[in-house]
Structure 1
Amino acid sequence: MRLSVSLGLWQDRPPEEALETARAADAAGYPELWIGEMATWDAFALGTAIGASTSLSLTFGPLAVTVRDPATIAMGVASVAALTGRETGVALGTSSDVVVRGWHGRSRDRAATALEESAVAVRQLLGGAKSTVDGSVVGSQGYRLRLPAPKSPLTIAAFGPRALDVAARHADRMVVNLVSPAAAASLVEGLHAAASRAGTAPPPVAAWVVGAVDPSEAAIEQLRRGVVGYLAAPGYADMFRAEGFGDLVDFARTRPHPRELLAAVPVEAIAAVGLLGSRDAIARKIADFAAAGIDELAIVPATSDNDPGGARTLTTISSAAGADPA
């Protein structure tokens, strides 16, 4: 099982802790860091700082394809590669209504089409070609990177059937987020079916999983906050119901006050989709994900005053995996 690290960008922690997590990942021997883009950091600015102070390879995203266009994505990835000398990759996804419509005032209509068109254009640009995509939602024509083309691998975030089709046709890697081993197995099966229809070889699959070794109450509260937004979401609700949390899903769909829903989330719901507890419990869960067909786990470490930056969690998970993270 390959391991990597993804920044949690937790809203209850100091923003600068992202740099501490990056240094902890580097020190623990993880080869790659995923840098998403949420409410705080510009991903490429943060990546430049991290790339200058660690030896990690960097993957940006998943970036929302109806927020960032292919040319700006390619410029950002190439800029960090040129300024830091680090290997770079990029992940594309469709993100959520809250981020796309609410924060950025953009439309998520035809998001799967935008994902495919962006994948084609971003691959052209990062490979050093002039862009030729005249998409119905997004595109890029006539632009070529002036910086050295980093030839970065392309990851596609997928959960629904149309995104699986895009991943099968265009991805060097697929990533899934916050899934149980059973849900992961279903998505891997869906990817293989999509690849068979497309006549392509299915790419490897990574899963973003939260991690916390013997978590404190503060860390558990942090992880609860990371789960609540998914409980009533299409697809995710079915997953949590299948894991035995149907009453919790039903409660979430009544749209209770966020504090009430947060308090109702049991630690077992977090453990269903993450690496939580003792070293032995984490080792068993890693084996479950491997048996589900997951090739890589991208660890999103909980951080707290008891484990600043998630350093202890990252070191223990690396040990529990039984091998070098690479």
Structure 2
Amino acid sequence: MKTHKQIRVFQVATGNVGTEMIKRIGNHPDLELIGLHCYSPDKIGRDAGEIVGMAPIGVTATGTVEEIIAAAPDVVTFHGVFPDEALYERVLEAGIDVVTTADWITGYHRDRNHPHPSGKKVTEVLESACQRGGSTFYGTGMNPGLNQILAVAHSCDVADIENVTVIESVDVSCHHSVETWKEVGYGRPIDDPSIPGSLEKFTRVFADSVYMMADCFDLELDEVTFSAELGACTKDIDLGWYFMPKGSLGANYIKYQGMVDGVSRIETHLEWQMTPHTDPKWDIKGCYITQITGDPSIYTKHMIFPKPGVDLSNPDSFASIGMTVTGLPALNSIRSVVAAPPGILTSADLPLRGFAGRFKP
């Protein structure tokens, strides 16, 4: 194994993904955690290990951007639920790279749906900060993110492509985020007219994933459309941490479709269930699927399993796996991001090594 100087990392946030990444950074051969930025006042001043349920690791949580910049890390890893574009701008113009798992793949949806206070597009603001500081900005995750790159890789031996579709087919009941599912609409009456809009609002970044694939395929799209099918609970569902009455939303099938001359060419689908007791219901496969129609056609499954010995009777084990596969594409990309020229990167720009995992030392 090659040895490299460790990259100094300052992490932002310790929610679901951030908690798991604190645990992972300590065993990552490329990385050294030198700081932690928290938004919750009750976390500031505490040891990062203690915050995430580990033994102390000697890193104390801070709460200001000035403290991030003063620590002079090589990179900031951002794992908040929503982007903090003001923090991004200040860190980038200070010459510090940023890798984020928060609602960013290309910036298309942020530009369209979240106007910057300056009146400029968010991508313009961050690109300018990158150029001022000589820094690099990159957003990724499992889906959207790695899932779409898997599809691009699987197209390598296909001629005359007609359609590329990636599907996330998962049971989401292990993701214990009550506020998230309330916002999306789970548990509301299936005929509530606000549900499609809530689902679209929550999943808009998947339009970015379609545009990112189109960029890899050198295909110019006319538009990316959204549609959703809704599954109603056929009985009252009590998950212990979430309740959905009979007749409320308990599953969905979402499509983001990249259109060319009225024909769908590139698609990202979200096949989610909180419970199998819905009408209609879908055959949840518990994996990520790539379907490519062309010559030849391709069908692949990306299946994720826990390491041997993990207690699968513990629901937290499943949640931990989900957070791991969301955050590790960010951690594993850091060396390539740090080596990249200044500016905003997408997964279409990274070399193959930017997606590689790491062997255990």
The normalised TM-score by structure 1 is: 0.32
Q: Which has the higher helix share?
A: 1
Larger radius of gyration: 2
